[in-house]
Structure 1
Amino acid sequence: MRLQYDFGQMPILLTVPALAVLLVVFGIPTVLLFLTSLNAPAVSVANYQAFFGQPANVHVLFQTIEISAVATIACLIVGYPTAYLIVVASKRLRMVLLVLVLIPYLTSFLARTYAWLVILGDNGLINNLLLHFGLISNPLQLIFNRMAVYIGIVHIMLPMMILPLVSVMMGIDKSLISAARSMGARPYTAFWRVFFPLSLPGVRSGSLLVFVICLGFYITPAALGGLGDAMLSTFIAAQVSSGFDMADIATSAFILLAVAGVVLFMLGIDLSGTQGRLVQQAQKSWMAWLPSFSKLKSYLGGFPALYRAKRWTTQLYQAGGDGHLLKIIGTVFVVLVLAYLLFPEIVVIIMSFSAGSYLEFPPSSLSLQWYSSFFGDPSWYGAAWTSIQIGSAVTVLSTIVGTLAAYGLSRATPWMRGSLTMVIITPITIPVIVVGVATYLGLVNLRLTGTQTGIVLAHSVGSTAYVVVIVSATLANFDRRLEQAAHSMRAGPFQTFMRVTLPLIRPGIIAGAVFAFLNSFDEVVITSLVSGYSVYTLPLKMWENIRNEIDPTVAAVASLLTLLPVLWLIALYVTGWRLRPQHTLPVHTD
């Protein structure tokens, strides 16, 4: 009873399990890794000088930044209009479009990378079609180059740009646009002067997320790029697999982390929703540099003012003449984006039913031979069962400690909540290769490398962060007066949580558990470092197969992984609907 009382009075203690796992597996090893890069206890920057003293290292570093920046800009150029068109669509169509964006987002990135291998390869879909129609005589080199890397990375990261943009755009008050139009602003002007500045938080969040994740990309550049397209994460992985000089590895990892830190510092992470005011302040400070143009602008703007007012009154209740054309253009654009996101997976699913000895599109005949190969090969279904076991353990651990942490953070002071939240979600806001190296060092100290327990702990670091984010979002909309009513009826903190809070936030917990499982089931970079290839998960088996022999069985595995998020979305929809509590604490409000 005393412990229950303490937790009720100090809910921040509920974050202790999550922070303990984070510190032991990731936090303390990261500090040790940094000290190793400085040659502690004899602190020096010799390792960093050696890194920058080699032109090849500097080239790889700048190449990593270049690839990440170009991919981020491409995602923003494509993602912003896509998000805008999704938001302005009807409610039912909007939900359909969001589901179609979520499906590739939840699909294994290994499966999506493999899809581009079979599309862009020498015997892939594009080359076969061009050869079939006689447009080329020899296969084009569409793979193992920079363009293939961009195609694969943008395909994987585009949903991560669209979803934050949609989230922010949905919260913009549309009456502000109407107010701008009522004062004579044209649609183009109203968009750029009102809507776009208010959507900048989504632009910043999406760009930051995409760029930082791209910095740690390892699998996609290695699979689709050539020798001249290596990124720093590939360089670090090569160091791990070859000499394993911990000082060099730590130095490379922290240089990559420093790049991510600089970007985070420049763009910032504002959790208070004050981005709009910052944008307005920036605009005012920029205009302050042009005082001499203010009077000229007022004089020039006065002449057409009367004309604009008359034109607006005549067009106020008329449909725009080019509205139909813009609607067609927008529809075609969204269809092309969704085709880019979904078509590779569809191609792999169709090719997985090929009856030949190799993959072809369209298949000359249909067969289930590659699915039989998967379920009949112990190395394949054994790896899948290992992934399911590890994913299930990660889900249980992450959901429990993540939910407790989210509940404790929701009751903490704003400053403490913000600080601890940033600490907990750090593993998903920095390059994954850095997380992998740090967790490897942590598991070496615990003597858990090459074990399923070690992989579970390594995966739980990131999965817990996802659970905390999702459950915290659910708790943000929770009415705490229900708990106060339960306390007034002499219910203790634990009883109140189990009988009142838990039933109401259960859909969020289930969603967090789903994301925790998917994060673990699809993980390959961290797993390859901490398992030592002594524990084979399904992603590791797929990655080894893709690199070495391109067994068509991978197409069947990729197809199954593509269908997996569809099943998860159906499960989330059903549980979110059916698990709504019909009867909770009877509270009457006026």
Structure 2
Amino acid sequence: MTTIQKIGSRPILLTVPAFGVLFAVFGIPMILLFLTSLNAPAISLANYVGFFEQRSYVLILLQTFKISLIATAICLIIGYPTAYLIAVAGRARPFLMVLVFLPWLTSALVRTYAWTIVLGDSGLINNLLLSVGLIERPLPLIYNRFAVYVGMVHIMLPMMILPMVSVMVGIDSSLMSAARSMGAKPLTAFLRVFLPLSIPGVRSGCILVFVVCLGFYITPQALGGLGDTMLSTLINSQLTTSLNMAPTAAAAFILLAMALVVLSMAGVNLASGHGEAWSTEQKFRPGRLPSFGKATRYLNEFAIPFRARRWAAKLYQGQRDTPWAKIVGAAFLAIVFIYLLAPGLIVIIISFNAGNFLEFPPRAVSLRWYYSVFQDPSWINALWNSFQFGVIVSLVSTVAGTMAAFGLSRCSSGLRSIITMSILTPITFPIIVVGVAVYLGLAKLGLVGTSIGIILGHTIGAVGYVVVIVLATLSGFDRRLEQAAMSMRAGPTRTFMRVTLPLIRSGIIGGALFAFLASFDEVIITSFVSGYAIPTLPLKMLENLKEQVDPTIAAVGSLLTLLPIVWLVALYFTLWSARGTLGKPAMNAVEL
């Protein structure tokens, strides 16, 4: 009881388990990695100088920045109108959000594999163009920069859309109507009202996409050519082929420095708020052309009567969408969702192919490749390992993450921000850098190639997902219910079990499912820590994808594609059952 009272008076103590695992597995190794890059104890910048003296390394660094920037720009160009159409979709918004979530929750490895089927010389697009006679030979759609952009944008587009939708939904639609009612044209109202208010979502989406793109490894390697190498591929090559860790550490910190610069810029911009957006817009407001100032002024005077009559006619008319606007918007959304969902559906269809090679559409339907998966001990062993690790990581992350979120919700805002950002570093830093640091730390502990090492490597990222989801759930929690229970002499433990836990149960279950999926799908950290000594399902898929492409991988990919659907169904029923018991915690507080 004394320990519980101490925790109640100092809720920050609840973050110790999560922060302790993070610091031991990731924090200390990052420090050691940095010292290694400096050739400690003889501090030197020789490794950094050596990196920039290698012209090929500098070109790869610039190429990484360029590919990430262009992929982010493409995601923004496609994602902004998509997010806007979803935000104004009304009752259809939940369904459209599910369509965005499905590809986001699907394994990135499966989606990359799907594009090898679609873009290959014998893939869906080339076969279709050859069959209709538009081309005489297959187009070079794969193993080039085009394929890299297609794969990266497909994977990152949901991450761009979701933050923008969350911001756009909170924008009061009456502001646009007010601007239109005062005579503003639709484009003017959008640029002057809606766009500045949506800038926070745009900024968050761009930062998330860009930083994650910096650490891309599998997609450029699987879809790109030799001229599309990114820095993460170089780091992985150095780690697996060289015994000298110092150059690898220097390359990892150069990549990390690039990400930190972008994140620091985001921090400054985020602190500026909406006022800066308005002041910036006013600052760059186009003025009169100096050479035609007088002529423009005279023309404006002649046009004043006409503009006045037109303005009076449009005055107090609310915003109305024309039928053509709705048709164009629906067509655009259809194209985007086909782009997001079609590769997964193609993998599922190909998995039922009866032939010995990949073929779309299949000439005959069969379950032979599913039987092949479940009769192959190597696949069963990999699947069982992934399931075991996912369950253990989910349990550990849920307990530690829920405790941390509960403690953070009762801390001051400044301390909460610092600790939260520390806990989220494994999922905000480039994954290749995290993998190298975790490998170094676990190697020092002798845990490389062990199940415990894999579980710890997965946990540091999974805890972050649990903390974010549970913390968001606790943000709407009414603490007066706890105070009511305690006023009726209920102890801290009983209050938590009877009042707090039922109200945040849906968030805890959601965090647990996210943690399971994060562990089940993890491949970069697993490849470093396990050294392929302990196979998991993603590692087995990656290995087979490099050696051969047959419908066996399609069968496994289809199972992983259906996994998010099961997750969403489970989450839906969890939230649905939570609605029915929403009033019980309040009644429990009164009964106590």
TM-score in same-fold range (> 0.5): yes
Q: Give the match for residue 496 of structure 1.
A: 495
Instruction: Please identify, of 317-326 and 467-476, the stretch whose mean Cα deviation from structure 2 is larger.
Output: 317-326
**How far is the alpha carbon of 1:280 from its aligned partner?**
2.5
What is the alpha-carbon distance in structure 2 between the residues aligned to residue 288 and residue 363 of structure 1? 58
- Deviation digits for residues 368-398 of structure 1, max 9, x if unmatched? 1111111110111210110000000100011
In structure 2, distance between residues paired with 1:164 and 1:141: 35
Question: Could you tell me which amino acid in structure 2 is paired with residue 253 of structure 1?
Answer: A
> SS of the counterpart of 1:8?
helix
Asked whether 1:42 is paired with 2:46, we answer no
- Find the residue that maps to 2:400 and give its secondary structure: helix
In the alignment, the residues of structure 2 paired with residue 291 and residue 132 of structure 1 have an alpha-carbon distance, to the nearest angstrom, of: 56
Residue range with higher mean Cα deviation, 385-394 or 171-180: 171-180
Q: Distance in 1 between matches of 2:315 and 2:398?
A: 53
Closer, same or farther: CA 298–507 of 1 in aligned 2, 3 Å: farther
**Other structure's SS at 2:512 match:** helix
Deviations 1:74-121 (A, max 9, x none): 000000000000111122x11111111110000001110010011111
Which residue does the alignment assign to 1:279? 277
Q: Find the aligned partners of 2:136 and 2:513 in 1 and give their Cα distance.
A: 48
Query: For residues 44 and 266 of structure 2, what CA distance do their matches in structure 1 show?
Result: 30
Aligned 8 A contact 2:119 2:125 in 1? yes
Where in structure 2 are the equivalents of 1:7-406 lying within 5 Å?
A: 7-91=7-91, 93-268=92-267, 275-284=273-282, 286=284, 307-308=306-307, 310-315=309-314, 323-406=322-405
Please tell me whether the aligned partners of residues 200 and 275 of structure 1 are also in contact (alpha carbons under 8 angstroms): no
For the residues of structure 2 that align with 1:16 and 1:333, how far apart are their CA atoms?
48
The residue identity in structure 2 corresponding to 1:202 is: G
CA distance in 2, matches of 1:197, 1:365: 54
Shift in Å at residue 489 of structure 1? 1.4
**Shift in Å, 1:137:** 2.9
How does 1:374-523 map onto structure 2 within 5 Å?
374-523=373-522
1:584 aligns with 2:554: no
CA distance in 1: counterparts of 2:199 and 2:99, whole angstroms: 24
TM-score (normalizing by structure 2): 0.95
Q: 1:325 is paired with a residue of what secondary structure?
A: helix
Aligned partner letter, 1:415: G
Deviation of residue 244 (structure 1)? Answer: 3.5
Q: CA deviation at 1:498?
A: 1.5
TM-score (norm 1): 0.95
Once the two structures are aligned, what percentage of the paired residues are identical? 60
* Alignment root-mean-square deviation, CA: 2.3
Q: Please state whether the residue corresponding to 1:584 is helix, strand or coil.
A: helix
Indicate how the Cα distance of structure 1 residues 283 and 299 shifts in structure 2: closer, same or farther if over 3 A, else same: farther
Q: CA offset at residue 266 of structure 1?
A: 1.6
- 1:134 shift after superposition: 2.8
User: In the aligned structure 1, how far is the partner of 2:377 from the partner of 2:561?
Assistant: 21
Query: Is the contact between residue 177 and residue 318 of structure 2 (CA under 8 Å) also seen in structure 1?
Result: no
SS class of match (1:278): helix
Whether the aligned pair in 1 keeps the contact of 2:38 and 2:47 (CA below 8 Å) is yes
The Cα shift of 1:499 comes to 1.3
Range with bigger deviation, 362-371 or 239-248? 239-248
State how far apart, in whole Å, the 2-side matches of 1:109 and 1:379 are: 22
1:474-512 CA-to-partner distances (Å, cap 9, x unmatched) read 111111111111121122222222111110011111111
Alignment CA distance shift 1:277-1:136 (3 Å): same
Tell me, which stretches of 5 or more residues in structure 1 are unaligned?
A: none
Equivalent residue runs for 1:488-567 within 5 Å? 488-567=487-566
Cα offset for 1:364? 0.7
| 8 Å Cα contact 1:184-1:309 kept in structure 2 | no
Matched residue, 1:4: 4
Letter in 1 for 2:47: N
CA, structure 1 residues 136+425, in 2 after alignment: closer, same or farther (shift >3 Å)?
Answer: same
> For the residues of structure 2 that align with 1:287 and 1:130, how far apart are their CA atoms?
48
Are the counterparts in 2 of residues 184 and 308 from structure 1 also a CA contact under 8 Å? no
Distance 1:190 1:288, change over 3 A: closer
After TM superposition, give the deviation of residue 550 of structure 1 in Å: 1.3
**Aligned in 2, Cα 1:306/1:383: closer, same or farther, shift over 3 Å?**
farther
1:279-311 C-alpha deviation (Å, 9 max, x unpaired): 224345556999999x99999878766655543
Q: Distance in 2 between matches of 1:480 and 1:306?
A: 61
Q: How many residues align?
A: 585
How far the C-alpha of 1:335 sits from its partner, in A, is 0.2
Given that residues 467 and 509 in structure 1 are in contact (C-alpha distance below 8 angstroms), is that contact kept between their aligned partners in structure 2?
A: yes
Q: Which residue identity is paired with 1:331?
A: A
- Taking structure 1 as reference, are residues 184 and 115 closer, same or farther at Cα in structure 2, changes over 3 Å only? same
Instruction: Specify whether residues 485 and 376 from structure 1 end up closer, same or farther in structure 2 by C-alpha distance, changes over 3 A only.
Output: same
Alpha-carbon distance in structure 2 between the residues aligned to 1:172 and 1:351: 43
SS at structure 2 position matched to 1:94: helix
CA distance in 2, matches of 1:267, 1:310: 45
Please give the alpha-carbon distance, in whole angstroms, between the structure 2 residues aligned to 1:153 and 1:343. Answer: 15
SS at match of 1:268: helix
CA positional deviation for 1:278: 2.8
Letter in 2 for 1:6: K
Pair 1:289–1:562, CA change in 2 (3 A): same
Give the C-alpha shift of residue 189 in structure 1.
0.9
CA deviations over 1:5-64 (Å, ceiling 9, x no partner): 011111111001010000000001001100111111211111100000000000100010
Alpha-carbon distance in structure 2 between the residues aligned to 1:222 and 1:279: 39
CA distance in 1, matches of 2:447, 2:26: 14
